[in-house]
A and B are shown apart, each in its own frame.
Chain A
Amino acid sequence: EAQVTQNPRYLITVTGKKLTVTCSQNMNHEYMSWYRQDPGLGLRQIYYSMNVEVTDKGDVPEGYKVSRKEKRNFPLILESPSPNQTSLYFCASSLYPSGMDTEAFFGQGTRLTVV
């Protein structure tokens, strides 16, 4: 089954304690990205990756890191989480955004609370 898998689904952590949210896709997609979803703000892109070892900042990259060492995996790293990073996070993958017929596949989401 084609899917994007995120872990964990729920996470409560304390300010400053490093954490990683994993994302894996089994569709051999080149493009992967991370979003955060906040009420009234919709989906905002944090980072995206066009392929292995190629990453770039989205609209809200501050406080986050990513890496793309393998095509299937795209972890999101919060080196020193703060309460304003409390949010719902989604990983997505797709073929290279070539316009027509490009579909983004989303994971189930990770609900992060930083206290």
Chain B
Amino acid sequence: QQQVKQSPQSLIVQKGGISIINCAYENTAFDYFPWYQQFPGKGPALLIAIRPDVSEKKEGRFTISFNKSAKQFSLHIMDSQPGDSATYFCAPINTGNQFYFGTGTSLTVIP
């Protein structure tokens, strides 16, 4: 069963632009909402995460927006840089169970 739907599959953004990646989920038992970043040849690594009791979290150029009623959360990358080119995964967690990874978004930032 597909519990997490991530979009878009790929994204090309000009340097300095805003990158937006979306994640929709079905399981209302999810209680932690992280995003992972994966560079070519590397394993994914935690980028930023949000708890369900807040609607937004910002860390530098990266922001998560969370809409509990719509069961969606998104990653915004402000002032996108070529070094942000990577694959991004949403991975909501269901306490005591497992991670559910989205299908990934390949981001390319053009200089």
Q: What CA separation (Å) do A40 and B31 show in the bound complex?
A: 26
Q: Do residues B96 and A98 form an inter-chain contact, with CB atoms below 8 A? A: yes
Interface size on A (CB < 8 Å)? 27
Answer yes or no: B28 CB below 8 A from chain A CBs: no
Q: Which residues between 85 and 115 of chain A lie within 8 Å of chain B, taking CB atoms?
A: 90, 92, 94, 96-104, 106-109
Interface size on B (CB < 8 Å)? 27
Q: Do residues B101 and A100 form an inter-chain contact, with CB atoms below 8 A? A: no
**Which of the residues B49, B95, B101 comes within 8 Å of A35, measured between beta carbons?**
B101
Answer yes or no: B6 CB below 8 A from chain A CBs: yes
Q: Do residues A99 and B31 form an inter-chain contact, with CB atoms below 8 A? A: yes
Q: Do residues A33 and B34 form an inter-chain contact, with CB atoms below 8 A? A: no
Q: Do residues A99 and B101 form an inter-chain contact, with CB atoms below 8 A? A: no
Interface of chain B, helix or strand or loop or mixed? loop
Which residues of the partner chain A approach B91 to less than 8 Å between Cβ atoms? 104
Q: What CA separation (Å) do A58 and B1 show in the bound complex?
A: 11
Answer yes or no: A41 CB below 8 A from chain B CBs: yes
Q: Which residues between 44 and 74 of chain A lie within 8 Å of chain B, taking CB atoms?
A: 44-45, 48, 58
Q: Do residues A43 and B32 form an inter-chain contact, with CB atoms below 8 A? A: no
Q: Do residues A97 and B43 form an inter-chain contact, with CB atoms below 8 A? A: no
Q: Please give the distance in Å from B57's CB to the nearest CB on chain A.
A: 12
Q: Do residues B43 and A106 form an inter-chain contact, with CB atoms below 8 A? A: yes
Which residues of the partner chain A approach B45 to less than 8 Å between Cβ atoms? 106
* Least CB separation from B92: chain A residue: A99
Q: What CA separation (Å) do A33 and B91 show in the bound complex?
A: 14
Q: Do residues B51 and A103 form an inter-chain contact, with CB atoms below 8 A? A: no
Q: In the complex where A42-B6, A43-B101, A43-B104 touch, is A97 in contact with B94 (Cβ < 8 A)? A: yes
Residues of A within 8 A of B (CB): 4, 33, 35, 40-45, 48, 58, 90, 92, 94, 96-104, 106-109
Residues of B within 8 A of A (CB): 6, 9, 31-32, 34, 36, 41-46, 49, 51, 89, 91, 93-99, 101-104
